[in-house]
Amino acid sequence: MEIKTHRGRETQTSRIIPPPDKARHRKKANQKLGKGRIAGRRFVSALETLGKVGAFLLLVVFMLSVFVYAYTSEKFNLRTIRVFGCKELDPGQVEAIVREDFPANILRIDLQQLKSRLEKETWAKHVEIRRVLPSDLMIRVEERSPSVIVEVHGELMAADRDGTMLGRYDPRFGKLDVPVFRGVLGNDAEGYRLYQEENAARICRALTMLSDIESGLPQYIPKISEVDISDRNNLKILLVDDTAEVCLGDRDYLKRLRKFVDNMSEYHKLKDQYNEIASIDLRFDNQIVYRPRRAEDESLKNKTARLESSKAGNR
């Protein structure tokens, strides 16, 4: 008996269907979920940025409102000006300058510009200014100190150590135990100020000379009655009870004056012999040159005394 089957054919022709790829579906789902999360983060970040921008704009608007209010409100208008340190400078004059030349609103006043303006006043050396909100100003003035007496066209004027002209000398300044400086430029106080820089340079040079002399011959400072600063490269001094100009040049003031002091006996002999000496020139290293008072005095004119190093001592 013969039995036939078709299982082999069915086996050969039947399809094998693979199970669905679950991993692929899972990957696509994860990608969609990741994109959603990124989009959410971006949206939140955008909202935060908009919030910051909005807050900044609100702050700017608030600040502008405060600024406009402060610069326009009458509450910040200048009411009281307190001036300290004035002795010679009139506080009323200071207040008038502030009120007439500067804005009424205290916040609109340029303090640096006001400081520069007040320091142009003759007596004001240094000025400090402080706002006291809402409506006050405090001004502290450091005044110049009269330190020098200057002869200007036959009139005695007072100046400070910087050479700033302060006005006519007055006893209220106290005793100024200093020589009189003569030889400045200008015929009056205004003329002096036209040459302020040059006059100040001459006065400062003369003060340097006096300081140099005082360091070694302090006893001679009270004996100097005048200082001629007409030529700042050749300063001259006039001693008390003497008419001879002593030429000290532009340096080595102490050394040169000491040379003259050490040979004072020779000078007195010449005075006794020739009556008066017009000038004593100490600018030469090894000699002292004396010049006559009167041109008609031929004996002294033709015999200008020259003391060589052996006599002058060159000390």
Domain of 86, CATH number, reads: 3.10.20.310
Q: How many domains does the chain have?
A: 2
Is the pLDDT at 296 greater than 50? The verdict is: no
- Nearest Cα to Cα of residue 283 among 310, 252, 312: 252
200 and 93 co-located in one domain: no
Alpha-carbon torsion angle 90, 95, 101, 102, nearest 10: 150
122 and 219 co-located in one domain: no
Is residue 12 in some structural domain?
no
Residue 79 near residue 135, CB atoms below 8 Å: yes
Cα atoms found within 13 Å of the Cα of residue 250, Cβ hemisphere only: 7
Is residue 278 in some structural domain?
yes
296 and 167 co-located in one domain: yes
Residue 186 near residue 152, CB atoms below 8 Å: yes
Paired strand residues for 132:
136
Predicted TM-score (pTM) of this structure = 0.69
115 and 158 co-located in one domain: no
300 and 155 co-located in one domain: yes
Q: What's the domain range around 111?
A: 77-143
Residue 52 near residue 109, CB atoms below 8 Å: no
pLDDT digits (tens, 9 = 90+) for 118-158: 999 999 999 999 999 899 999 999 999 999 999 999 999 99
Give the span between the Cα atoms of 252 and 248, in whole angstroms.
8
List, in order, residues 6 or more apart from 191 with CB less than 8 Å away.
Answer: 152, 185
Helix count and strand count (H, E) for the chain: 10, 13
274 and 133 co-located in one domain: no
pLDDT digits (tens, 9 = 90+) for 202-218: 999 999 999 999 999 99
Name the region of 221 (left: φ>0; alpha: ψ -120 to 50; beta: rest). Answer: alpha
CATH number at residue 219: 3.40.50.11690
